[in-house]
Amino acid sequence: MGQFSLSVHMEPNAKQNEVGQIVQGYLRLRIAVKPDDDNLEYGNEEIVAFMSEILGISKDRVSVTHGQELRFKVLGIEGMDARQVMEKLKPHMKG
């Protein structure tokens, strides 16, 4: 199985990490990390750790493939297809 690409919109400054709804093709991720203008990749490690936990896979199977320095990112998820990813995400999605 190949790599599934997931478009996400990171929203920093959350009280806790949360998965939001899909809005305009992007999965909203509320991430408990403070913005850092000196390090534009500030949320990437937290997103990888959070998504690997939700998906039940190791961190080395999740990567930020595009948008490393942006709030709009593309994640690469190894060994899962769209259906499998959505099945894992749906119970965690909040409005």
CATH architecture of 3-92: 2-Layer Sandwich (3.30)
Each residue of 9-35: pLDDT tens digit? 999 999 999 999 999 999 999 999 998
- DSSP structure string for 12-56: -S-SS-EEEEEETTEEEEE------TT-TTTTHHHHHHHHHHHHT
* pLDDT > 70? residue 1: no
Measured distance CA(2)–CA(31) in Å, rounded? 27
Of residues 59 and 95, the one with the higher pLDDT is 59
Q: What residue spans define the domains of the chain? A: 3-92
Each residue of 38-48: pLDDT tens digit? 787 889 999 99
pTM: 0.93
